Structure 1
Amino acid sequence: MGGTECSLNKTSYGRARSLFTTLELNYYGQLYAKFCGNSNKIDWEVFQSMFDSMWGSNYVRKLFEYFCSAQDKEASKFTSLDLDTFIFGLAYVLKGDADEKLNLFFKLCETDDARDSNELAFVEVKLVVNKLVDQYMNVIRQSPSYQYWTFEKNSNDDALFLSDYFSNNLETYLTKSGHIDGDNFVPRQLIQKWLIRDGSIILEMISCAVNFALEKALPGGPFIFPLIPTPTNNAACVSILNLPSVVILSNNITVSGSANSNAGSWKLLYDSKKHGESFTNMLKSIMDEGPLLVVVQEKETNYTFGGFCSTNMNLNPNFVGDDRCFVFSISPYVRVFPATGFNGNYAYLNAYQATMPNGLGFGGRLQMDEIKIHFFSLWLDQDFGRGKSQAYGSTYSSPQLSAKENFDVEKVEIWAVGRKPDTQKRRDSKSILDSNPEMKAILAMTGKGPVSEGLRDFDETADIPEDRKFMNA
């Protein structure tokens, strides 16, 4: 369906069927037989009963017309679906590429008052997004992964929270493009660009909603719950994240290209309430763990925000990361601020240096002569409990994320969200300890230093002493 493969509208029914497994085809055949009965067809009334758990009759009618258009572009000529056309329509919706799912999204957004076929009513676009989000959140709450999360705040407004995120994101995009006129009609092309750039998950929500409706109509099908990260190593942790923020952040991490982000698990490395409010404790928990998601809650205000570093973090006098890094706000509003590309000051981690700023930060600039920091989107000081956020630094161009520029920390969570660095490569390469005595001393202070120099020389296949000490810490 994507890449070099033909689009569905150029394939035969046999080709459409080949996109499904035998198990899937058997299930859809049983579903078809259950609902069409002796008539051997699915008309509008039957189709509506299959999808009565979705959206409302107006949108189900548009979905029916979309299925009919798989048989012929002049869908109005058809009043029922045979099995082949039903399978063909499912192939468009469930197995289709981005273009085919975009066509269905546009179909759902169509209104009679549109001035021409190349425009969509902005109000209707937002309404469709809200319907999709509401259904998606309902499905996620029933997923196995969701059962492993314990959030500090559980809200019945989670769907509204996520809808507001997409609506505000779209409004910002359209405003910057200058294409919202007095009648609030916008070009399809702009909506398409936004969906591909920032709202690709919305297209997946369509497939999820259709598949889940079929599962409710005939349980026991090949339905797979949408993947959100499964938290690990989080016993007794009540996270300052919430469900919408997990969906948003995992989607942005995936878009950013970080491996195994939302399709696998997030490992809780550090919780300041559980592991101790100490920069040293934080360091020994997070170093050499791969890409990190840092979440901070400000004391008294409960503003919640953070940053994502796409690469491994170790004590370093230089900035690390790449253009996949971003900073974000969760509360009081939700926004993600990607790297601007203006500079490479993505993420910084250093400690116990007399001539360098010591702390963890995202964005900003270091002033070595006075050991100061400037324009950091987020800075957590080595003096644990103190933080700073400044507006519109050049790395992320984010507003001030905290209520106060210099703030007190209520809680810090740090999650590993990607692959851990290859330990075999670390064994094979020259250790930083061999070339940097200062770093050796720092690692020893954090509890990550070698237990014995002799152990490293004696058995190259043994567990790394530093790792053993960390596991026993």
Structure 2
Amino acid sequence: MGQSASSEGVLLQQQYQSSLTLFTSYEQGEIKQIFDTICKTPATELECSLSGFEKSQLQGYIDGKLPDSTTNRLYDLLKLLQLCGAVNKPDDVPISHHAFVVAMAMLFKGTLDQHCHLIHCLATENRNGVPAVELSKFVSGILQHYEKALQVSNRMSNWKLECSAESQEKLLKFAVHDAMSVADGDNNKVFDESEIASWLQKEPFFQTLLINIFHICFSPPAEQNAQGASASTETASSDDINISTLHEIKALPQCLDIDWAKTSTLLDLPSVLLLNQHIPHSCRGQWRYCFSSQTDGASFATMVRHISKQGPVVMIVRDTDGNVFGGFASQSWALRPNFTGSSQCFLFSLSPSYGIYGASQHNDHYMYLNTDQQTLPNGLGMGGQFDYFGLWIDQEFGTGHSKAKPKCTTYDSPQLSVKENFTIDVLEAWAVGPPAKLKDDDLYEDSQVSILDRDPEAQAILDLVGKERKSEGLRDEEPTADIPEEHNLYPSGAQDN
């Protein structure tokens, strides 16, 4: 499987040198490992050689993690890179290490324009643009193969998630049809690369998904990672490994603090991918199970206890009519008489369709949590205003509301539930990102603890001079102490109907 110098053009040599500078020495070693592994994959047409690989070897290496059409077009792209500016252009030219490095730079270090060109090449053979029907087929194929790629590469990160055809179709509609304003049945529309760029800027979800699946396909072999294939990898520091583009990139957030033998979730693979893409980057590394009414009971007090001071939280509700929706709280939940949170909060819908509804900037009514008040609402709310929330969970827990005529003023969200006033079927909550660090003030929040407890020195001085502590025995009770621990999920008699 020899390769003449004339089959590599000057332009490829220049692209190779430019691409190489984008990778650290450790990453360069990883790419060489991957290239060598592909070259050692059994070939069907030519003898194996470390100087290059052919299409069947690339197909064998990827092993079904990508749709066949995508793998074939990826090889065609590699071949174009290989022959770019070459004097001789034989049909059976193998893909060299130089062409492979240039392609890896496009995939993992590429600009937005390069990714748009990559999507164009992988989605269609039409050089004038990407027809809507072919773009939809391409995105759908990537979604269908992503679950398999995660499973065979052992990257489910402790999640037990399904990926149904229905959820794939919902994600396709959200990520392509809605984002690119493609009407149902309008398959004749053709997108140029500038329109693809506008799409990715508006909804970057698919760009991230594409990079993730290619990362899974082109990760260094585990056994070679352990041994080190070159001096550069053998001498690499742990910092080199941690910042490597190809090493252990999280395709899914780590799922923590859950026993799947006892607990199920309203989430599926597409919904986790979608929500994780829209929460702040610092929160995307891990999701920690906090609460589910299915396993922890239908108790507002229990829910509040489990979600308080946990940092940012994703809450998901399914109403008894089957709609699934929720909200992302950017800060720790805490009992307050006023609205809190930030513009990073958002509401969302997961069924019957996907929707992400960010801050409108009309007001700052992002988060509200209060209990046992005479003049203020008692419950948990996001968006809107008192008694007219975009999402509301009542302190009595079994009920809530989603009010928007025509939209929630805080989040520009529509009514999320089937009925404006809904009954909860299931509610669950996940803390996202690293655990919150409690501040000293959190321990004595809202003056629930005597000022003397905050200042032991003041207490000691009073004891020393023999002064009586007038407030002793008059301390406030815990804020959730008089909330009934268990509430019936359904109102009286509802289960009989």
User: Normalized against structure 1, the TM-score is what?
Assistant: 0.76
1:60 maps to which residue? 71
**In the alignment, does 2:18 pair up with 1:12?**
yes
Q: What amino acid maps onto 1:173 in structure 2?
A: A
RMSD: 3.6
Contact in 1 for aligned 2:132/2:187 (Cα 8 Å): no
- Unaligned 5+ residue runs, structure 1? 1-7, 367-372, 435-439, 441-449, 460-465
**In the alignment, does 2:299 pair up with 1:278?**
yes
Contact in 1 for aligned 2:149/2:216 (Cα 8 Å): yes
Following superposition, the deviation at residue 124 of structure 1 comes to 0.9
2:440 maps to which residue? 427
Following superposition, the deviation at residue 126 of structure 1 comes to 0.8
Q: What amino acid maps onto 1:357 in structure 2?
A: P
1:285-340 residue CA offsets vs partner (Å, 9 max, x unmatched): 222221111111212x2322111111222112222222211111222222222222
2:275 maps to which residue? 249
Following superposition, the deviation at residue 208 of structure 1 comes to 3.7
Moved more, 308-317 or 93-102: 93-102
Contact in 2 for aligned 1:386/1:409 (Cα 8 Å): yes
Partner Cα distance (2:413, 2:302) in 1: 29
Partner Cα distance (1:258, 1:148) in 2: 20
Q: What amino acid maps onto 1:206 in structure 2?
A: L
Contact in 2 for aligned 1:310/1:321 (Cα 8 Å): yes
Moved more, 314-323 or 354-363: 314-323
1:148 maps to which residue? 158
Of residues 253, 262, 273, the one that matches 2:284 is: 262
Larger Rg: 2
Q: What amino acid maps onto 2:256 in structure 1?
A: T
SS in 1 for 2:303: helix
Contact in 1 for aligned 2:379/2:394 (Cα 8 Å): yes
| TM-aligned CA distance change 1:33 to 1:242, over 3 Å | closer
Which residues in structure 2 correspond to 1:7-406 (within 5 Å)?
9=15, 11-12=17-18, 14-15=20-21, 18=24, 20-21=26-27, 23-35=29-41, 37-38=48-49, 40-51=51-62, 53-71=64-82, 73=84, 77=89, 79-112=93-126, 117=128, 119-142=129-152, 144=154, 146=156, 148-150=158-160, 154=162, 157=164, 161-175=167-181, 183-198=188-203, 200-214=204-218, 224=248, 226-235=250-259, 236-253=262-279, 257-259=280-282, 261-263=283-285, 265-299=286-320, 301-366=321-386, 373-374=387-388, 376-391=389-404, 392-406=407-421
Percent identical pairs in the alignment equals: 26
1:444 maps to which residue? none
Partner Cα distance (2:49, 2:153) in 1: 36
Q: What amino acid maps onto 2:276 in structure 1?
A: S
Partner Cα distance (1:192, 1:125) in 2: 13
Q: What amino acid maps onto 2:392 in structure 1?
A: W
SS in 1 for 2:356: strand
Q: What amino acid maps onto 1:242 in structure 2?
A: D
SS in 2 for 1:377: strand
Contact in 1 for aligned 2:65/2:148 (Cα 8 Å): no
User: Normalized against structure 2, the TM-score is what?
Assistant: 0.72
Contact in 1 for aligned 2:171/2:270 (Cα 8 Å): no
2:433 maps to which residue? 418
Partner Cα distance (2:430, 2:333) in 1: 12
| TM-aligned CA distance change 1:27 to 1:11, over 3 Å | closer
Moved more, 160-169 or 308-317: 160-169
Partner Cα distance (1:272, 1:232) in 2: 18
Moved more, 54-63 or 81-90: 54-63
Partner Cα distance (1:219, 1:204) in 2: 27
Following superposition, the deviation at residue 453 of structure 1 comes to 7.0
| TM-aligned CA distance change 1:28 to 1:398, over 3 Å | same
Contact in 1 for aligned 2:132/2:186 (Cα 8 Å): no
Q: What amino acid maps onto 1:65 in structure 2?
A: D
1:78-117 residue CA offsets vs partner (Å, 9 max, x unmatched): 64322222233223223434433332112112333x6xx3
Partner Cα distance (1:422, 1:216) in 2: 36
| TM-aligned CA distance change 1:363 to 1:19, over 3 Å | farther
| TM-aligned CA distance change 1:328 to 1:85, over 3 Å | same
Partner Cα distance (1:211, 1:334) in 2: 26
1:126-173 residue CA offsets vs partner (Å, 9 max, x unmatched): 11111111221212234656363346xx45x25x51343133343223
SS in 1 for 2:348: strand
SS in 2 for 1:270: strand
Partner Cα distance (2:358, 2:140) in 1: 24
Contact in 2 for aligned 1:139/1:225 (Cα 8 Å): no
